[in-house]
Amino acid sequence: MGDETVTTTIDEETLVETTDPAPVEVESADQEDPYLWLEEIEGEAALAQVKEWNAETEAKLADVPGVEERAERARKILNDPNRLVTGSVIGDKVLNHWQDENNKRGLWRIADLDDYLAGDPEWTTLIDVDALSEEEGEAWVWHGANCLAPAYERCLVSLSPGGSDADIMREFDLTTGTWVEDGFMVPLGKSSVAWVDEDTLLVAKDEGGDSLTESGYPRTAKLWTRGTDWSEARQILDVEREQVWLFPTALMDGDKRWIFLQSGPDFFNQDRFVLVDGEPVKLDLPQSVEPQGVLDGQYIATLVDPLGDFRTGDLVSWDLEALARGETPAPKLVMRPTASQAVDSVATTDNKLWITALDDVSGKLFILDHGEDGWTAPGVIDLPDNSTLGFAAASGKRDVALVTVSSMLQPTTLYAVGSDGSTTTVQQLPEQFDASNMSVTQHFATSKDGTRIPYFLVRRNDVTEPTGTLIHAYGGFRAPSLPQYLVSEPSRSGPLALFWVESGGAYVLANIRGGGEYGPAWHEAALREKRQNSFDDLAAVAEDLIARGVARADGVAISGRSNGGVLTGAGITQRPDLYRAAIIGAPLFDMKRYHKLLAGASWVGEYGNPDDPADWAFMKEYSPYQNIKPGVEYPATFWYLSTKDDRVHPGHARKGAARLEAYGNDVYYRENLEGGHSVSTDQEANAVRAALEWAFMMKEVGTTAPE
């Protein structure tokens, strides 16, 4: 579809609202964006184009040998009843949301904790989401439940229409298994709610007018008492529209409930408040700290910036009672990671602090106590090496952590870890593929500035010649990319990586800067004006694979989702000579307009503000959409996303695909009409997409070395 054939259905008023306020300092073709009409999410012309692209993609890939067989195999993998059963521990019970081919939207169910830990739970269904959707005529997607501790008798259940970030909340009675008549109900929106007590909520919700921040989140929090109209709720805190959000939450320290609020100027710098006698008290903490939990009266956080004698990446704690009095207590060191380590996640039980740390991107589990003399030295728990660890849940009074352990070639095992460090296997998944002829190794590439960039490589042992290679990466928001069993990577694409390796290709997970693999400093190294480092890291990994004889020089593909869309977009526009293809999911792509679209304004701290000439000076160098030029042959692209994504606007992908196609490049496109930023909660759609992406890779890259 060339520029000259585009017609817009956007009316004049909408055009005025979505046109850039100042000229973009790029080539003249960008002065007036011919694809603004594709930003109209549910626009008739835009959806017609989406459906046309979807049909074209399926038609182009339908004749790739093996695509139907892989779609069927993906269905079996994604609907395998032997999947890991995880959930939330509430007292002596476990809650779980379960999906399979007969329950596509899922069952919310409950079982006894003892039976669950013994590996033999008997589940009782609380809510059948499929049945509820049919009954109410709404495509509900499960968004979780917030249950009031320590009694756990009442829960606020969150349901989203179609899978968007916006949801409704309804009160549910666990003792009767029914909705609470005339109970709390928070209408559709990007709301956040904390239980204060059985009859009181702290709510931040969309109230219309100017009640939202520029990022589209609530900016006012109110105390709402049971049995009263919302108009009677008492305002607790109100922040300026320029703030990202106002977000209430509750944390338990044993049986003591602490209610917090946070708000700040960007995604990474937040003011924090604690509710004392119904009034907010601002905590005297650096805005940049990363809160991790509360235990034994200690407020625990990771330092992003140095503080006195403490270093970036240190885990520290403050006396919370003193903070709540408005005082400035001295912090205590909880744990100092080594140069190769980073704190990954933290969990608390009534008496123990649990820490998963990354050590050259491999997981380790530590357990600590707090007493009058401070924190004990971290004790290392004996779990399999070279694995990815994650907290599935924690049982407070029992001081037991439920920890998942997985790797690329080993299925996930769920362990119950006791306060004494003992481990018991709760569930061990069976193998879903034959890995006997596969190996996984870790390597390091050297980036442009000399930084060592780790990556994991998986391939068949009998593939000794250079082959087609798929590199998946993220590189943003302090989020590490960790190795997972091949049926679940790359990001939400199901078994694509498995299919690719089985076909003779090489699959790579690259730990580029911008993530959290080595703590806050690894993120800082690719923040804002330093973003180019992440693109250079990706290129360095690709070049290292070619130099090692793993990848064909003409056979490197890249994959990324969300922030990874900026990454893959910059990759194909900066190095079309290096990459053969790209899989681009739910992407940010037009960095000139990203802050005007849906939740984009909340990420200015990550990327910069394109309305600021100083920021646009470095952003325009990599913004993928503005850097697509006529006369350049770009790698083939496969786009996947959801119309219902209300976090990253679907216009990013639509406009990128349209411009590439207009300039004569190969474009494959698949947009689900529901699913939110997760793209799809429908395993059927995920299975088909995994097969189509494999077919795309086989058609555009191939796995065998040329003669």
Question: Hey, which residues are catalytic here?
Answer: 562, 677
CA–CA dist 108, 339 (Å, integer): 43
Q: Are 616 and 610 in contact (CB under 8 A)?
A: yes
> Regarding beta strands 332-335 and 341-348, do their DSSP bridges make them parallel or antiparallel, or are they unpaired?
unpaired
Lookup: tokens for 215: 């990022």
Which helix (H) or strand (E) segment is 535 a member of? Answer: helix 532-547
| R_g over Cα of the chain | 25
CA distance between the termini of the chain = 36
Q: How many CB atoms lie within 10 A of CB 689?
A: 24
φ/ψ (deg, to 5) at 488: -120, 5
CA–CA dist 687, 73 (Å, integer): 8
Kindly give, in sequence order, each residue whose CB lies less than 8 Å from that of residue 283, ignoring residues fewer than 6 positions away: 272, 273, 274, 299, 323, 324
Which helix (H) or strand (E) segment is 93 a member of? Answer: strand 93-100
Of 240, 322, 164, the C-alpha closest to 645 is: 164
Of 323, 282, 277, 287, the C-alpha closest to 307 is: 287
Name the amino acid, one letter, at 247: F
φ/ψ (deg, to 5) at 335: -155, 135
Q: Are 528 and 618 in contact (CB under 8 A)?
A: yes
* CA dist 415 → 26, 259, 387, 429 (Å): 54, 31, 13, 12
Q: Are 129 and 105 in contact (CB under 8 A)?
A: yes
- Work out whether the CA dihedral 497, 498, 504, 507 comes out positive or negative: positive
Of 601, 685, 684, the C-alpha closest to 642 is: 685
Name the amino acid, one letter, at 57: T
Lookup: tokens for 170: 């309804």
Torsion angle of the four alpha carbons 284, 290, 294, 296, in this order, in degrees rounded to the nearest 10 = -70
Lookup: tokens for 384: 């399999």
Q: In what order do the strands lie in the sheet containing 332-335? A: 290-295, 298-302, 315-319, 332-335
CA–CA dist 110, 113 (Å, integer): 9
Q: How many CB atoms lie within 10 A of CB 687?
A: 24
CA–CA dist 633, 577 (Å, integer): 9
For 86-119, give the secondary structure using H, E and C: CCEEECCEEEEEEEECCEEEEEEEEEEHHHHHCC
Name the amino acid, one letter, at 287: Q
**Exposure class string for 429-460: b at 16+ Cβ within 10 A, else e:** beebbebeebebeebebebeeebebbbbbbbb
Going along 113-255, which residue ranges are E strands? 124-128, 140-147, 154-161, 167-173, 178-179, 185-189, 192-197, 200-204, 220-225, 234-238, 247-253
Lookup: tokens for 668: 């494959």
